[in-house]
Amino acid sequence: MEKNVIETDVLIIGGGTSGCLAAVELKELYPNLSVTIMEKAHVDRSGCLAGGMNAINAYLNPGETPESFTKYVRFDSCGLVREDLVLSMSELFEYCVKKVEKWGLPILCDEKGNYVPRGRWNIKINGESLKPIIAKAAKNAGAKILNWVTATNFIMADGKVAGAMGFSIKNGNFFIVKAKATIIATGGAAGIYKPNNAHDAQHKTWYSPYNTGAGYAMGIRAGAEMTSFEMRYIGLRVKDTIAPTGTIALGVGAPQINSKGEKFMAAKYAHIGGDGAPTPYRSHGPLQEIKEGRGPVYLDTRHITAQQARDLKSAFLDMYPSMVLYWAANEIDPSKEPVEVQTTEPYVVGGHTQSGYWVDVNRKTSIEGLYAAGDVSGGAPYKFVSGCWAEGVIAARAAGEYVQKTGFAQIPENVLKDEQERVFSPLMNQTHKIDGINNYDMEVRIQKIMEEYAGGAATFYEVNDERLQVARRRLSTLPDQFKYLMAEDLHDLMKAHEVIDRVYVAQVLVEHMMYRKETRWPGYCTRTDYTELDDTNWLKFVNSRRDPETGNIEMFTRPYEQIVPGDRYKPR
C-alpha cells in the first residue's frame, strides 16, 4: 500500500451538507488557506442530501425570529436544548439559504416573489440536485477533495487534533492528512440497531446507510466529550418505503388515525399539541396504539383532491422517488386510502435530536484543534439542512481564525505506524488465512444485542436498567474480537471499520441511556423503571468522555441554561 501524505491548513472530514458549506466559507474568508475535504463516497452525491430534498425544513418565515425558533425547538425537545447553539444557527438560516439559492437551488416563490412556506418553519424547493449544487460550489471555491477516502482516526499530537488518517477505498493507499485545524462533519450513525427492513432490503433505511458513526467513534477514541446520546431518533415514516411523513403531514395536513379511524393524537395528546405535539410524542403515540391492539396506524389523506395527490407525488420525486413508484406499483391512490406509517429503527443523529460532540458556541469541541458541525455535533436539534449549513459556516469561521495563530504539530511516527497497522489488519488476516470473523457477522451481533437489550423496535424502544446491564456486558466482549476481523477486499475493509466504529458508538449510547433516570423523550427512549419526566433532577445534559488509555467511559452532567424567556413546554 502506498502512503499519501498531505499538509493542509484546514481538513474537513465529510463532504456532505455541513462540510461543503464550511469549505466555501473558509475559501471566501481566507482565500490563501488550503482546505481539504476527506469524503468517504463521492462528494457529488454523498451524505444525507444524496437523493435530494423537497423542502428547507428550518427557516424563519415572515414574523418568526431566532428567539421564536428557539422556543419552538425547546418545546419540540421536551424542554431541554442548548439554547445558545440553536440561536446561533438560526441567525444564519437566511445567510445560508440565500447563498445556496445563488448557487442555483430552485426555491419555490409566489407571484410576489416570496418563498412558499410549508408549515411554520419550512419552505418548498425543487431540490433533487441540491447535493451536486453545493458540491460544485465547494469545488469552484478551490477546496481539494479526496473522494472515496474513508477516515479512520484523528492524528493526535500533544493532546491536540493535528489532522486525520484514512485509506482509499479505490486503491488502498493510506492517507495521512496533517492539518492545523480539523472540522468533523461526517454525519450521524445508522446501523446500530437491527433494521426494520430485512435481508436484501436491510439498508433501505431512513438515514443514510453510509453514515455509520465514524465521526462519533473517532472522537470517542480520542477522548472528546460527548452529549445526549440517549436522545436517539426514531422517525415516523411511511411503511416499507421509509419515506418522510412530513411531506404528507405538513404538505396536505394529514392527521394520524388508528385502524378504528380514531384521531388518537388529537384525542389523547391535545394537552401537548395533538398532531403538532413534540416529535418524540408523534412516534410514541402511534406506538401505543399498535401496542394496545389498535394498529396499523395511518396518515389520513382521504380528504385531499386529485390535484393535491399529484402535487404530493411531485414533492416526493424531488426527494424520495421510490414512494411514487411504490404507489404506482401497488395501485395506491393517496386521495382514496390513508397512508400506513411505522417507526424506524433508532439512529444517533444530532441534526434531528441532539446527540454528538459537546461544543461551544463556535462549534469548538473539547479537544483543541477540532471543530464539529452538522449531525455529528450535539446540543442543537432541529438542524435539518439549513441548520447543518449554518453550523458548517460557524465552524469554518472559528477554524479559519484559529489557524492564523497556530502551526503544524510535530507528529510522533509511531502514531502513524500504529494506525496503519490497525487499519489494514483485517486484510492481513485474510492474506495470512487466519481464522476469523467477517464484518457482517459482527454487524448482526451488535444489532441483535442493541435490538433486544437496548431499546430496539421489538421492545417498543423501551429500556430498563436490567436490560441495559445485559447490553453493556455483551457489548464489552466485542472489542476483543476486532483483531479477528477479516476483509477480502477494500470494500470489505471499509465495512470492517464501519462495524468497529458502531461498537464504540453503541457502548457510549448504552452508558447514556443507563445514566439518565427519567423518561424525557417518550418514544425515543422510554425508561420503564423511570417513567416520568423529572425536571427536578434531570433538567441537564448527560455527557460522557472515554479515557483513551483505559477505555473507561466517565459519565457526568452539564447544567441547562435558559436564555430565551418563556414556558419551556410551549411552542410560542
Dist CA 227 CA 81 (whole Å): 11
Measuring CA to CA, how many Å separate 351 from each of 209, 365, 481, 493? 16, 16, 32, 28
Read off the pLDDT band of 495 (50, 70, 90): very high
Read off the pLDDT band of 380 (50, 70, 90): very high
Measuring CA to CA, how many Å separate 513 from each of 80, 196, 336, 373? 16, 21, 42, 24
Look over the chain and give the mean of its residue pLDDT values, rounded to a whole number: 95
- pLDDT surpassing 90 at residue 206: no
Query: What pLDDT, in 10s, does the model give residues 95-152?
Result: 999 999 999 999 999 999 999 998 899 999 999 999 999 999 999 999 999 999 999 9
Averaged over 153-181, what is the pLDDT? 97
Nearest to residue 49, comparing CAs of 137, 115, 121, 149? 137
Q: In this structure, what C-alpha cell is assigned to residue 517? A: 433516570
The CA-based dihedral angle spanning residues 420, 480, 198, 320, taken in that order and rounded to the nearest 10 degrees: -40
The answer to whether 107 and 125 are in contact (CB under 8 A) is: yes
Q: Which helix (H) or strand (E) holds 340?
A: strand 339-343
Return the pLDDT at 435: 83
Based on C-alpha coordinates, what's the Rg of the chain? 23
Dist CA 538 CA 561 (whole Å): 13
Query: What pLDDT, in 10s, does the model give residues 402-445?
Result: 999 999 999 999 999 999 999 999 999 988 877 899 999 999 99
Averaged over 389-396, what is the pLDDT? 98
DSSP state of 203: T
Q: Which helix (H) or strand (E) holds 177?
A: strand 174-184
Return the pLDDT at 136: 98
Sign of CA dihedral 194, 505, 353, 108: negative
Q: What are phi and psi of 204, to 5 degrees?
A: -85, 80
Dist CA 345 CA 237 (whole Å): 11
Query: How do beta strands 3-13 and 174-184 pair?
Result: parallel
Sign of CA dihedral 398, 402, 403, 408: negative
Dist CA 530 CA 520 (whole Å): 10
The CA-based dihedral angle spanning residues 408, 412, 415, 418, taken in that order and rounded to the nearest 10 degrees: 140
The amino acid occupying position 52 is G
Query: What pLDDT, in 10s, does the model give residues 58-98?
Result: 999 999 999 999 999 999 999 999 999 999 999 999 999 99
Query: How do beta strands 485-486 and 437-438 pair?
Result: parallel
The answer to whether 255 and 265 are in contact (CB under 8 A) is: yes
Dist CA 229 CA 295 (whole Å): 30
The answer to whether 501 and 543 are in contact (CB under 8 A) is: no
Averaged over 188-195, what is the pLDDT? 94
Q: What are phi and psi of 135, to 5 degrees?
A: -65, -40
Q: Would you report the helix, strand and coil content of the chain in percent, each value rounded to 5?
A: 40, 20, 40
> Is the N-terminal amide bond of 296 cis, ω within 30° of 0?
yes
Return the pLDDT at 200: 75
Return the pLDDT at 345: 94
Q: For residue 551, how many other CB atoms are within 10 A of its CB?
A: 12
Q: Which helix (H) or strand (E) holds 437?
A: strand 437-438
| CA 564 from centroid of its chain's CA atoms | 26
Query: What pLDDT, in 10s, does the model give residues 464-477?
Result: 999 999 999 999 99
Indicate the length of the chain as a whole number. 572
DSSP state of 35: E
The answer to whether 163 and 180 are in contact (CB under 8 A) is: no
For 105-242, list the strands marked E by DSSP. Answer: 123-127, 144-146, 149-157, 160-168, 174-184, 226-227, 236-238
Dist CA 381 CA 232 (whole Å): 11
Q: 53 pairs with which residues across the strands?
A: 127
The answer to whether 438 and 175 are in contact (CB under 8 A) is: no
